[in-house]
Amino acid sequence: MGERRVVANVLRGSIGNLVEWYDWYVYAAFSVYFAKTFFPKDNPTAQLMSTAAVFAVGFLMRPIGGWLLGRYADRFGRRSALTLSVTVMAAGSLLIAVTPGYKTIGLLAPAVLLIARLLQGLSVGGEYATSATYLSEVASAGRRGFYSSFQYVTLVAGQLVALGVQIIMQQFLTEAQMANWGWRIPFVIGAAGALIVMWLRRHMDESEQFQAESQQADAASETPAKRGSLRLLLQYPRECLLVVGLTLGGTVAFYTYTTYMQKFMINTAHIPKGTAAWINFIALLVFVVLQPLAGALSDRIGRRKLLLFFGICGTLFTVPIMFAIQHTQNAVKAWGLMMVALIIISGYTSINAIVKAELFPTRIRALGVGLPYALTVAIFGGTAEYIALWLKDAGHESVFFFYVAGCVLVSLLTYAFMRETSAGSAIDAEATEAEAGRALTNSGS
């Protein structure tokens, strides 16, 4: 596949990834406004805890999404699975946009919100695994770290767009208007964007590795059911455990410094909502730029060194950074502290997709990446915000800082004993075999 086609496929896959994650993150960005619509309580922290609980429950669907769509991608193709995932996301966003509040339909309001969030959780569970697999497979050899980093470029860009929509709306709508009806607008935008992505993804190229694997399976009269099965995945227990260890600290740190950080600045540091939104927006904008730079660096020095950088610095500096943010209302200082944390996390986010993809062969890659990753994110990443708010409500907020550092320490131990995945990449080995097969076919004809 030529470099121009590689870039075109990466762009198409990335734009879809952006819209999917915008739909996912717009819930977190606007929960400070719609919390009382679905959960009418006098205590603002209790309202946020309720919306955070639904946010966490959405994460519980991610392993199911990682299993269903990962299996679908390994059996029927990455392109088809990516198109299906964005369709489910569009349905979830539209449902949230049109659901009446608690005062109108009572307990049905939080129930429908929960159903919509479950659909979104199912979607992103499959989106992560399939997009990580697709971007890794379509990337050119020697630049897989660079191209696969665009998964987090667009993942974070989705959050940036959500924050950008929030900032723009804050300029034109009053606090009351935002809480009454304004928060519905971003969900309508997300549903419309997802429908456009459905069309874009239908025109992507399927990855050459999947096509080659399918041809080999067809030649051997192997049914698609044998690809992407749990029985096949169980033949790779070490790789699955590695995915869990790789992910644990990274997902807790990522959700702490992205989705939860805005609420932390507002509720704990008492920084105004508008200022906190701008701090997060600018910091995440720089964070996006860091991803391809770090991904390209991994192509030169290897993946493991970047992971060790994240593990060591995350373990040592998480607690001091959180304490410092807790005690400042200075916007510039808060931004600087958040930026230091995001630089550290880039050692994980920029390459975590390619590292996991390099562990598995094509016939089980999407499921192998998706299921253990989604289970880990559901248990640890999805509950990070709720644990933080629960500890704050209990008067022990600082315990959460040590919890995050401890999770990163567990991942550091994994990085310390794992091999360098780029040195024995299953993706590169299969790409070489496929190229040799095409050359043999061409010479024979």
Residue with tokens 């986010």: 349
Identify the pLDDT of residue 441: 47
CA distance 127 to 61: 12
Per-residue confidence (pLDDT) for residue 428, from 0 to 100 = 67
**pLDDT for the residue numbered 43:** 61
Question: Alpha-carbon distance 91 to 85, whole Å?
Answer: 10
Q: Where are the domains of the chain?
A: 9-205+236-439
CB atoms within 10 A of CB 140: 16
Residue with tokens 């964007």: 193
Q: What is the CA radius of gyration of the chain?
A: 21
DSSP 107: T
Burial 410-427 (b: 16+ CB within 10 A, else e): bbbebbeebeebbeebbb
Tell me how far apart the alpha carbons of residues 417 and 17 are, in angstroms, rounded to a whole number: 32
| Nearest residue to 355 via CA among 292, 306, 300, 315 | 306
Q: Domain 9-205+236-439 falls in which CATH fold?
A: Growth Hormone; Chain: A; (1.20.1250)
CA angle 250, 251, 256 (to 5 degrees): 100
CA angle 313, 314, 317 (to 5 degrees): 75
Sequential DSSP letters for 391-436: HHHTT-HHHHHHHHHHHHHHHHHHHHHS--GGGG-HHHHHHHHHHH
Q: One digit per residue, pLDDT tens: the chain, 445 residues?
A: 567 778 888 887 788 888 888 988 888 778 778 877 877 666 666 666 677 677 667 777 888 888 888 888 888 888 888 888 888 988 888 999 998 987 888 878 888 888 888 898 888 888 888 888 888 888 777 788 888 888 889 888 988 898 889 889 988 988 889 988 999 999 999 989 888 888 888 778 887 788 887 777 666 656 665 666 788 888 999 999 999 999 999 999 999 998 889 889 998 999 998 899 889 889 999 999 999 999 999 999 999 999 999 999 999 999 999 999 999 999 999 999 999 999 999 999 999 888 998 888 888 888 898 899 989 988 898 788 889 989 998 889 999 999 999 999 999 999 999 988 877 666 766 655 555 555 444 555 4
Contact 404, 178 (CB under 8 A): no
Q: Are residues 331 and 269 in contact, defined by beta-carbon separation less than 8 angstroms?
A: no
**Exposure pattern of 22-38 as b/e (b: 16+ CB <10 Å)?**
bbbbbbbbbbbbbbbbb
Distance, CA of 411 to CA of 417 (rounded, Å): 10
Please tell me the distance from the alpha carbon of residue 79 to that of residue 84, in angstroms, as a whole number. Answer: 9
- Decide: pTM greater than 0.95: no
